[in-house]
Amino acid sequence: MGNLSSCSCCQDCFGKRSRNGLYEPLLQENERDAIAELLQFLENRSRTNFFEGEPLRALSTLAFSDNVDLQRSAALAFAEITEKDVRQVGRETLSPILFLLQSHDVEVQRAASAALGNLAVNAENKLLIVKLGGLEQLVRQMGSPNVEVQCNAVGCITNLATHDENKAKIAKSDALRLLVDLARSKDQRVQRNATGALLNMTHTQENRQQLVNAGAIPVLISLLSSPDADVQYYCTTALSNIAVDAVNRKKLAQSDSRLVQYLIALMESKSLKVQCQAALALRNLASDEKYQLEIVRCKGLTPLLRLLKSSFLPLILSSVACIRNISIHPTNESPIIEEGFVNPLIELLSYDDNEEIQCHAISTLRNLAASSERNKRAIVDAGAVERIRMLINQVPTSVQTEMTAAIAVLALSDELKPRLLRMKVLEVLVPLTTSQNMEVQGNSAAAIGNLSSKVKDYTPFVEVWSSPSGGLRAFLIHFLNESQDISFQHIGVWTIEQFLEGNDIQLVSLIEDTPEIIRDVRRIARLAESRAKKTEAGFDEANDEMDGDIYALAKRVANAFSTEKQ
């Protein structure tokens, strides 16, 4: 905006000199008074509130004038004032600005839309502007052939779209279609404002769907190659949000087969925020199997690993979240390990500044171990178990949940069980079976159960029978209690069966010398007989919570106790 302290437009409006040297009156008296007052107020602008009282009345007089020069003066004054002074305003302030938006003069439109955009930074103003019909007028300005007017109108809508109450109204207006069109503008400022507004419309599922229906996807994808970092950022983030919805991921797949390649390239952008959003967009796409495979096929692992090793938290978080989703597909497990992700992921387990990073890192390691003995071995060889054992009692519950689940997966390997037991994992797992978190309890118990199956030496289990935290004895009593969830009782009985099959004399003796264990196993076994009698009598047991498997299991274990006693 130009300097309005001298307000040349106002001075020019006083009149024109005739041949005899006299001014011909061009203005109404109240307009001349308003100009004179406004000039005085502008001279003392630092001490003047233009949003109320005489200053606002002077501006309003010029705004509502039939004289276009006065309207220009008012619009320019509003634009400069609001550039430096943004506050909550009322209808009295917005009405003259909205009136100026209806002018046929391009200069008036440009300055009035700039003023409105400035005021739209304030949350209360955003709502009042739309309530007073500002959205409809801005939509008309978006169709202006003048680039400046387009730019200011779209910029104002960008600000209005940051308020949740306005988003639905914008989505239902003609603004979306125009924003999509203006995103193709050759003017970078218009393009930037339009893509920023489209981004602001992607934060709810309903609005995302309307945006997709308006044809935004191909436009956003085409602008990923824009030379402007802001446009890249807005488009990448908008596409990331759109990819949250499964139905939209299918439409993205149908729109441009090079989308994944574009996003992988943007992970090498000079802009950190673009790199971050590109990784997040790939993370959301990788909710689908198709994209999990495509990202690896298009060589996305190398840039992801570079971001993972960054010292910038947002880059670490976006990349580790992405690799977690990619690691879900069994085919990707080995390529991720071969790319060199294991050690950096183990290091991120200690990243105590961000719980989410720790969760994604351990969840990825668990995924990588899921279907291959070789991969399990690689993870253990890299020191993952030692790091987990060191950290597991210090990390938040959400991370404990993932860590215990990871140990349970590793404990499925017959080859690795002796190593895990030598690493003293039982000493950390046993106390966690009484955690206040049910998932941590269940995962810890499952890990113990997996470790107990088909091992040659049960000495590590004997050593933790009574300690720490009451030891295996307390764990089994706790899980077999009839107040427990049936799945927990099942784990308890199944673990006992593994111990009995292991036939370690000392461990079996410890179990049989614990009356609470014997009692609860027999209680569950008796329920099997009761259930069978009800079935014979014609009672429908379809809704019985007790799973049939646990009955058969409990009967086998109870019979084994009897045999041992004999």
pLDDT single digits (tens) 372-405: 999 999 999 999 999 999 999 999 999 999 999 9
Rg over alpha carbons for the chain, rounded to the nearest Å, is 35
50-54, 357-361, 507-511: which has the minimum mean pLDDT? 50-54
Give the pLDDT of residue 530: 63
Task: With cut-offs at 50, 70 and 90, classify the pLDDT of residue 359.
Answer: very high
Contact of 424 with 389, CB cutoff 8 Å: yes
Sign of the CA dihedral with 310 first, then 312, 315, and 318 last? positive
Please state, in angstroms and as integers, the Cα–Cα distance from residue 480 to each residue in 487, 488, 518, following that order.
Answer: 10, 7, 10
Would you state the pLDDT for residue 474?
Answer: 96
Mean pLDDT across the stretch 529-554? 61
Instruction: Provide, rounded to the nearest whole percent, the portion of the chain with pLDDT above 90.
Output: 78
The helices-and-strands tally (H runs, E runs) of the chain is 36, 2
b vs e for 447-464, b when ≥16 Cβ sit within 10 Å of the residue's Cβ?
bbbbbbbebeebebbbeb
Whether 324 shows a pLDDT value over 80: the answer reads yes
| Mean local confidence (pLDDT), 284-306 | 97
Which of 39 and 144 is assigned the larger pLDDT?
144
Whether the pLDDT of residue 3 is over 50: the answer is no
- Tokens 């961000």 belong to which residue? 354
Of 87, 83, 78, nearest to 112 by C-alpha is 78
Confidence tier at 28 by pLDDT (50, 70, 90):
confident
| Half-sphere exposure in the Cβ direction for 357 (13 Å, CA) | 24
Q: What 8-state DSSP symbol labels residue 214?
A: T
Q: What is the pLDDT of residues 441-479, one digit of tens each?
A: 999 999 999 999 989 999 999 999 999 999 999 999 999
pLDDT at 546 over 50: no
Average pLDDT of the segment spanning 224-232? 95
Q: What angle do CA 440, 441, 445 make, to 5 degrees?
A: 115
Query: In which band, very low, low, confident or very high, does the pLDDT at 535 lie, cut at 50, 70 and 90?
Result: low
* Residue-level pLDDT at 545: 46
Residues 291, 285: Cα–Cα separation, whole Å: 6
The per-residue pLDDT for 15 is 43
Q: How far apart are the first and last CA of the chain?
A: 99
- Rounded Cα–Cα distance for residues 406 and 369 (Å): 8
β-pair partners for 15 = 25
Give 20-60 as a DSSP string: TSPEEE-S-HHHHHHHHHHHHHHHTGGG--TTSHHHHHHHH
Distance CA 320, CA 307 (A): 9
CB-based contact 391:349 (threshold 8 Å) = yes
CA–CA gap between residue 376 and residue 410 (Å, rounded): 6
Q: Is residue 538 over pLDDT 60?
A: no
What's this model's pTM, rounded to 2 decimal places? 0.85
SS3 assignment, position 241: helix
Work out the pLDDT band at 158, boundaries 50, 70, 90: very high
What whole-number distance in Å separates Cα of residue 472 and Cα of residue 477? Answer: 9
pLDDT of residue 41: 82
pLDDT band at 528 (very low <50, low <70, confident <90, very high): low
Q: What token pair was written down for 73?
A: 């003066």
Per-residue pLDDT, averaged over 243-250, amounts to 95
Q: Which residues contact 240 (CB under 8 A, 6 or more apart)?
A: 277, 280, 281, 283, 284
Q: Which of residues 276 and 28 earns the better pLDDT score?
A: 276
Tokens of 236: 């990448």
Query: In this structure, what token pair is assigned to residue 140?
Result: 């008309």
Do residues 327 and 364 make contact, with C-beta atoms less than 8 angstroms apart? yes
How confident is the prediction for the chain on average, in pLDDT? 90
Average pLDDT of span 126-135: 95
Place of tokens 């085409």: 222
Look at residue 25 and tell me whether its pLDDT is greater than 90: no
Task: Taking residues 272-287, report their average pLDDT.
Answer: 97
C-alpha 481/C-alpha 494 separation (Å) is 14
pLDDT greater than 60 at residue 23: no
Instruction: Please tell me the distance from the alpha carbon of residue 84 to that of residue 147, in angstroms, as a whole number.
Output: 24
Which residue reads 């351990």 in tokens? 362
State whether residue 485 is helix, strand or coil. Answer: coil
- Our CA angle for 125, 130, 133, nearest 5°, is 125
Residues with Cβ < 8 Å from 406, sequence gap 6 or more?
362, 363, 365, 366, 369, 384, 388
The dihedral through the CA atoms of 381, 293, 400, 549 has a sign that is: negative
Q: How many CB atoms lie within 10 A of CB 105?
A: 15
What share of the chain has pLDDT > 70, as a percent?
A: 91
Say whether pLDDT at 564 is over 70. no
How many whole angstroms separate alpha carbon 38 and alpha carbon 7? 9
Does residue 5 have a pLDDT over 80?
no
Residues 6+ apart with CB under 8 A from 5: 42, 43, 45
The pLDDT of residue 34: 84
